[in-house]
């Protein structure tokens, strides 16, 4: 369904892309351009790539200064050029499935013939766009822990590798926190795994509520969680870990049993890889548990005392 906000409101169902000049109501040369666009858009499942190809091809036929695509379910936004006064907007749907909103803008008004050209090209975007959205949903599902709703170990491996490379390249700080629920096995043994699952969900939410927007928490496995702190040195990491520890201790759970966590922190050095950084944080966590639990231990402190 395409909805035009200018020059007049109207609705039209987007069906399967036409394949002949008669169906499209265009000259054979226009058909060749449309089919070329369709072919280009089938070459990728990345939203950025598809939209960039589509807008580049659209610009060949209709002049515009800016474009903006938004798909709220994926928190995805794509901007092209600069927004101007006059706009034409499309709310994209296919068989009832919402596929986002696309807006074109420029300094002068769009003529009716130009809108028709945009619509013809837009028909070629619908299916590739839907496939890309499905692909992104599949990626998100594969990287999300189904119990807690936070990202999982696979997502952590990918993001940690990228952030370590960026930190080394830009010489910026990066820290890691590994957290583990104290005596979690007793919760499962005493109350059952269903209650244990509720505790894990509350634990993950408690951590998330006490992080900055740039920090990311992952469920590493079982009752162990990892927090990635971009732009944070060792001192900041310890401060975050202590804030999280206190929040966990004061969090309300579904059982009337005190819940605490042990946390280990480590900060990236010039010699660290993703593996060595994680091992350092995990070693600090082990020391926190061995030293009585419900505390934060930094890898740096272990070096100083050894």
Does 290 participate in catalysis according to the annotation?
Answer: no
Catalytic-role residue among 223, 249, 275, 290 = 223
pLDDT for res 18: 46
pLDDT given for residue 7 in this prediction? 37
Are residues 127 and 29 part of one domain?
yes
The pLDDT value given to residue 16? 44
Determine the pLDDT at residue 98: 93
CATH number at residue 272: 3.30.70.270
Among residues 97, 123, 141, the one where a domain terminates is 141
User: How many angstroms separate the CA atoms of 153 and 220, rounded?
Assistant: 5
Identify whether the C-beta of residue 219 lies closer than 8 Å to the C-beta of residue 150. yes
pTM over 0.85: no
CB 170 within 8 A of CB 260: no
- Host H or E run for residue 117: helix 112-122
Structure tokens at 80: 């092209």
Q: Are residues 85 and 185 in the same domain?
A: no
> What is residue 301's predicted lDDT score, i.e. its pLDDT?
86
Q: Which residues of the chain fall short of a pLDDT of 50?
A: 1-24
Domain of 188, in residue numbers = 143-305
DSSP string for 241-291: HHHHHHHHHH---SSSS---EEEEEEE--TT--HHHHHHHHHHHHHHHHHT
Domain identity same for 65 and 193: no
- C-alpha 150/C-alpha 147 separation (Å) is 8
Q: Say which CATH number the domain at 28 has.
A: 3.30.450.40
Q: Give the per-residue pLDDT at 21.
A: 41
Predicted pLDDT at 188? 93
pLDDT at 36: 72
Q: Based on the domain organization, do 164 and 257 belong to the same domain?
A: yes
Prior bond to 3 cis, omega within 30? Answer: no
Tokens 């740039």 — which residue?
214
- CA dihedral of 105, 107, 109, 110, whole degrees rounded to 10: -40
Distance in angstroms (rounded) separating the CA atoms of residues 75 and 293 = 38
Q: How many domains does the chain have?
A: 2
């Amino acid at each position: 369904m395409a909805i035009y906000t200018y020059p007049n409101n109207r609705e039209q169902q987007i069906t399967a892309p036409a394949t002949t000049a008669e169906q499209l109501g265009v000259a054979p040369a226009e058909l060749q351009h449309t089919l070329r666009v369709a072919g280009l858009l089938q070459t990728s499942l990345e939203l950025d790539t598809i939209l960039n190809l589509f807008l580049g091809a659209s610009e060949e036929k209709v002049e515009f200064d800016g474009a903006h695509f938004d798909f709220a379910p994926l928190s995805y936004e794509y901007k092209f050029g600069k927004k101007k006064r006059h706009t034409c907007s499309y709310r994209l749907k296919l068989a009832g499935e919402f596929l986002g909103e696309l807006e074109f803008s420029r300094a002068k008004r769009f003529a009716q013939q130009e809108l028709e050209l945009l619509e013809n090209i837009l028909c070629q975007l619908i299916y590739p766009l839907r496939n890309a959205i499905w692909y992104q949903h599949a990626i998100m599902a594969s990287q999300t822990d189904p119990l807690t709703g936070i990202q999982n170990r696979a997502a952590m491996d990918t993001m940690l590798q990228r952030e370590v490379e960026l930190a080394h390249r830009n010489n910026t700080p990066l820290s890691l926190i590994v957290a583990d629920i104290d005596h979690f096995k007793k919760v499962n043994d005493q109350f059952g795994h269903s209650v244990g699952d509720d505790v894990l969900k509350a634990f993950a939410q408690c951590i998330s509520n006490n992080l900055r927007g740039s920090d990311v928490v992952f469920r590493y496995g079982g009752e162990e969680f990892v927090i990635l702190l971009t732009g944070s040195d060792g001192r900041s990491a310890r401060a975050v870990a202590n804030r999280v520890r206190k929040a966990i201790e004061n969090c309300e759970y579904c059982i009337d049993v005190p819940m605490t966590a042990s946390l280990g922190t480590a900060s990236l050095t010039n010699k660290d890889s993703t593996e060595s950084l994680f091992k350092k944080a995990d070693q600090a966590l082990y020391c926190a548990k061995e030293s009585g639990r419900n505390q934060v231990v930094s890898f740096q402190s272990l070096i100083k005392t050894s």
